[in-house]
């Protein structure tokens, strides 16, 4: 539950003191995401957030991240429906959906080393001319993801760990650009990439009706994203988040 006294739904009158139930946003089991490193004795990652706007400097939902043990969690689970927030900003209210973890190779976008983008500019233009794709479309991953680079909409804002001062590791991004913008490069695409005449699978499968029914359906402000970071060097794996739109 979130009892932040100043959280609000835009255009609505101020809320009373009654706490607001947080909503589940991401649930990942270690067995489904082999590339995700879990802290010792945990195998379940859960992220919830309060679906209201919080004035913590980010003006967005207020998330909480939990590393759990799946067996212990299941043993202590409550019966019946989870609590529902009595009010919510729809921008932060995910539609129930499943994840389909797909290994992908990605290259930095906003996080390209300084000057490299200018050096590669001609190559990017050639690519666009020959294949019709932007670097942004083929090399970066705009969908929600574990690992890789934060799906920044605005220039990078990497956090430093409050405990040790080192730059934190990007854990995962939840982005509003699901599922149809940009692309990721699933491993099976590498094979089809050998055939110059094949239609790339992300284009072949881009049926608008199917895309509409897919994913969490959150606007996150305006095509924004929530980015989670951890420090694995400090006790209890501290985390923080960034939000932009």
Q: What's the CA gap between 109 and 10, in Å, rounded?
A: 32
HEC-encoded secondary structure of 163-187:
CCCCECEEEEEEECCCCCCCCCCEH
* Pair 63, 92: CB distance under 8 Å: no
First to last CA, the chain: 25
Shortest distance, position 7 Cβ to Zn ion, whole Å? 4
Of 7-15, 137-145, 151-159, 193-201, the segment contacting Zn ion by CB under 5 A is 7-15
* Number of chain residues interacting with Zn ion (CB under 5 A): 12
Of the candidate residues 161, 172, 176, 226, the single one contacting Zn ion (CB under 5 A): 161
Should residue 2 be labelled a site residue for Zn ion when binding is judged by CB under 5 A? yes
Shortest distance, position 169 Cβ to Zn ion, whole Å? 10
Hey, which residues between 183 and 242 contact Zn ion (CB under 5 A)? 231, 233-234
| Residue bearing tokens 């939902």 | 61
Hey, which residues between 35 and 74 contact Zn ion (CB under 5 A)? 50, 52, 62
Q: What's the CA gap between 118 and 220, in Å, rounded?
A: 31
Q: What's the CA gap between 8 and 89, in Å, rounded?
A: 8
Of 4-12, 67-75, 136-144, 222-230, the segment contacting Zn ion by CB under 5 A is 4-12
Q: Which chain residues interact with Zn ion by CB under 5 A?
A: 2, 4, 7, 50, 52, 62, 161, 163-164, 231, 233-234
């Amino acid at each position: 539950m979130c009892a932040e006294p100043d959280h609000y739904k835009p255009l609505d009158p101020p809320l009373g003191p009654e706490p607001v139930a947080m909503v589940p946003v991401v649930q990942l089991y270690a067995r489904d995401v082999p590339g995700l490193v879990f802290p010792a004795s945990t195998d379940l990652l859960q992220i919830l957030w309060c679906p209201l706007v919080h004035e913590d400097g980010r003006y967005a939902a207020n998330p909480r991240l939990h590393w759990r043990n799946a067996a212990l969690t299941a043993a202590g689970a409550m019966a019946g429906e989870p609590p529902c927030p009595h009010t919510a900003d729809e921008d932060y209210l995910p539609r129930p959906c499943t994840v389909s973890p797909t290994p992908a190779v990605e290259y930095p976008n906003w996080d390209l080393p300084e000057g490299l983008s200018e050096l590669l500019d001609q190559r990017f233009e050639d690519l666009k001319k020959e294949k019709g794709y932007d670097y942004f479309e083929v090399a970066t991953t705009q969908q929600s993801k574990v690992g890789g680079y934060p799906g920044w909409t605005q220039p990078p804002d990497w956090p430093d760990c409050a405990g040790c001062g080192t730059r934190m590791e990007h854990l995962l991004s939840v982005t509003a650009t699901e599922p149809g913008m940009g692309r990721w490069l699933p491993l099976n695409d590498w094979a089809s990439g050998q055939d110059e005449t094949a239609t790339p699978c992300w284009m072949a499968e881009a049926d608008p009706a199917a895309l509409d029914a897919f994913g969490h359906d959150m606007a996150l402000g305006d095509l924004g994203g929530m980015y989670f970071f951890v420090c694995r060097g400090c006790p209890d794996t501290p985390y923080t988040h960034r939000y932009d739109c």
